[in-house]
Amino acid sequence: MKCKRLFAGIAAAATMLGGLAVGAMGANAADAQTITITNVRDGMTFNAYQLATFSDVQGADGRISSLQLETNAEAAGALGEAMAQIGQAPADPYRKNPAAQAARFDDGLLRQLADKLKDGTDRLGQAYPSGEVAGESTTVTVPAAGWYLVTSPTEGVAPAIVASTVSGFTTIDRNNPAITTMDLGKLVAKHNLTPTPDKTVDKGGKNVVGVGDTLDYEIRTTLPSRQANTEPIAFRVHDRPSTGLSVRSSDITVKVGGTELAASDYKLEGFGDDGAFRGDGQRHFTVNLDDYANSAVGERHAGERVVISYKATVNDDAKTDPVTNYVAVTTTPTDEVDFRKKTEDIPVGRFEFKKVGVDAQATGLAGASFQVRNAEDAVLAFRNDGDGVYAYAPDGGAGTVDTIVSGANGLVKVTGLPQGTYQVTETKAPEGYSEQFRPTFRITVDGDADGAAWSLASGSNALGLASGGARNDITVKNVKAITQLPMTGAAGITVLVAMALLVGGAGVLIAMRANSLKRQLHA
């Protein structure tokens, strides 16, 4: 096919979706060349297919300034059809040399072209396989300097159009005032979850969390390589806290290779003017490291571990649903943020109990008032969410109450509680019920993989009016008379003692009255 002399900067176009553009030219088509692929995971394999060869390379000091390109005859038909599918059908003077026209495509068109070609590699001629993966890189040996389509059977790895090395040269000129040269024979593999983020949370030994608790989150990923003298890349870490979590920008630190970055090395996006972010499970904030990743310093640290740490505070939106967090990484500005990586669900502490009375109110009793104390014997404050439902408000203040009241069906629900044991004291019985026999009991708030859990704790249930059966099942009873108190166990003994005291008191009263009557008769 007819050769077309091209400026090397035009012919050097190459792409890997979301990765780096790399150049491609050749000095001697007879010499075997290589393509080194980095950012490779164990088990990944690649194949290279020759689209065109390069010859008559011109340049000096290892730097190519121009060359000639000729389409590989075996690939010409498939290449022309793929170009037509993206609206770039070969036109004069490139009908017989479509690769020369494709070499003028920008990165966006080249990505589209690579996507079309990957589904018809059986029409591109021989496949040249990659070697063993070592140190997150692998090498493909190709028969001649040229322009190649690189694909991988590994799911999620994007195809790329890239150039091999060229004997005697290491870089090529580009028609780009910002980046005037680029390296030859290098490709950074771009796959959907690369860099793959990982995220952990330190709960401080807690099984459940409550309003005011803090959680230490850590995101770990890898700084991608922009490859020297290639198009700028994006590197952004996105974090989506669930409802019930608040983050402050001042609590975020970023480290690369163990060294903390200055705040000027990255941008925090999505925070309010006051530096606050309140999660709702939909919005996210972003740590934008574009400038750092494209800097000379960033290039030196490419491939090193990036660690983003911050504290999240459980806020008063945390009620019955667990708090959690998602993270994602994007490496092009147009990437859709795909939040697949999720931290564990952390239950929010709470307790519930059913308040019952006697007779017609044995299935639900409204109007009983309680106070809740923590382990430090402090009375807790709550926000009244209506009908027996209360949300813990550790800071108290306007609009909060320190007394909770059973709802219309007798239900009492307290949400947002930190892990621990609480004493619940009835301070006022419903109308018609004994003020003398009000219950006091203790509840332990905890949790496990199945979620938040609560149960009766030992102590402070002397009258036995609080009872618990299955997990998260507590019933608290009010009575109108001593005879309605429980008569079993320790509570029964307490009742018998109380009755004995009452009977004894009545006997003393009768004796006193009898003696008084005798004195009156003998007067």
Domain range enclosing 414: 350-484
Residue 335 lies in a domain: yes
**DSSP secondary structure, 456-474, as one string:** EESSS-TT--EEE-STT-E
Mean pLDDT over each residue of the chain, to the nearest integer: 85
Q: Looking at the structure, do residues 15 and 155 belong to the same domain, yes or no?
A: yes
Per-residue confidence (pLDDT) for residue 49, from 0 to 100: 98
Q: Looking at the structure, do residues 516 and 435 belong to the same domain, yes or no?
A: no
- Measured in whole angstroms, how far is the alpha carbon of residue 243 from the centre of its chain? 13
Note if the pTM is more than 0.85: no
Residue 420 lies in a domain: yes
Residue 415 lies in a domain: yes
Q: Looking at the structure, do residues 177 and 217 belong to the same domain, yes or no?
A: no
Q: Looking at the structure, do residues 332 and 214 belong to the same domain, yes or no?
A: yes
Q: List the beta strands (DSSP E) in 119-231.
A: 127-129, 137-142, 146-151, 160-163, 171-173, 181-183, 186-188, 198-202, 214-222
| Pairing assessment for the beta strands 146-151 and 47-60 based on DSSP bridges | antiparallel
Choosing from 188, 211, 240, the residue where a domain stops is: 188
Choosing from 285, 320, 342, the residue where a domain stops is: 342
Q: Looking at the structure, do residues 173 and 53 belong to the same domain, yes or no?
A: yes
Residue 82 lies in a domain: yes
Q: Looking at the structure, do residues 102 and 119 belong to the same domain, yes or no?
A: yes
Among all chains, which residue has been given the structure tokens 């030994």? 205
The answer to whether residue 341 scores a pLDDT higher than 90 is no
Condensed to tens digits (0 to 9), the pLDDT of residues 438-482 reads: 999 999 999 998 999 999 998 889 899 999 877 899 999 999 999
Q: How far apart are CA 229 and CA 137, in angstroms?
A: 20
Q: How far apart are CA 284 and CA 400, in angstroms?
A: 30
Answer whether 227's CB lies under 8 Å from 137's CB: no
Answer whether 226's CB lies under 8 Å from 302's CB: yes
Here the CATH number for the domain that contains residue 285 is 2.60.40.740
Q: How far apart are CA 161 and CA 3, in angstroms?
A: 20
Residue 193 lies in a domain: no
Residue 37 lies in a domain: yes
Q: Looking at the structure, do residues 470 and 498 belong to the same domain, yes or no?
A: no
Here the CATH number for the domain that contains residue 402 is 2.60.40.10
Q: Looking at the structure, do residues 509 and 411 belong to the same domain, yes or no?
A: no
Q: Looking at the structure, do residues 460 and 411 belong to the same domain, yes or no?
A: yes
Q: Looking at the structure, do residues 61 and 141 belong to the same domain, yes or no?
A: yes
Residue 404 lies in a domain: yes
Element of type H or E holding 391: strand 389-392
Residues in CB range of 445: below 8 A, 6 or more apart: 208, 210, 349, 350, 351, 417, 418, 419, 420, 421, 422, 452, 453, 454
Residues in CB range of 321: below 8 A, 6 or more apart: 242, 243, 244, 348
Condensed to tens digits (0 to 9), the pLDDT of residues 243-291 reads: 999 999 999 999 998 999 999 999 999 999 999 999 999 999 999 999 9
The answer to whether residue 378 scores a pLDDT higher than 80 is yes
Choosing from 283, 308, 342, the residue where a domain stops is: 342
Spatial CA neighbour of 475 closest among 352, 361, 349, 390 = 352
Domain count, the chain: 4
Q: Looking at the structure, do residues 93 and 106 belong to the same domain, yes or no?
A: yes
Condensed to tens digits (0 to 9), the pLDDT of residues 164-180 reads: 999 999 887 765 444 46
The band of 13, judged by pLDDT with boundaries at 50, 70 and 90, is: very low
Q: How far apart are CA 264 and CA 49, in angstroms?
A: 43
Q: Looking at the structure, do residues 142 and 30 belong to the same domain, yes or no?
A: yes
DSSP category for residue 359? G
Residue 213 lies in a domain: yes
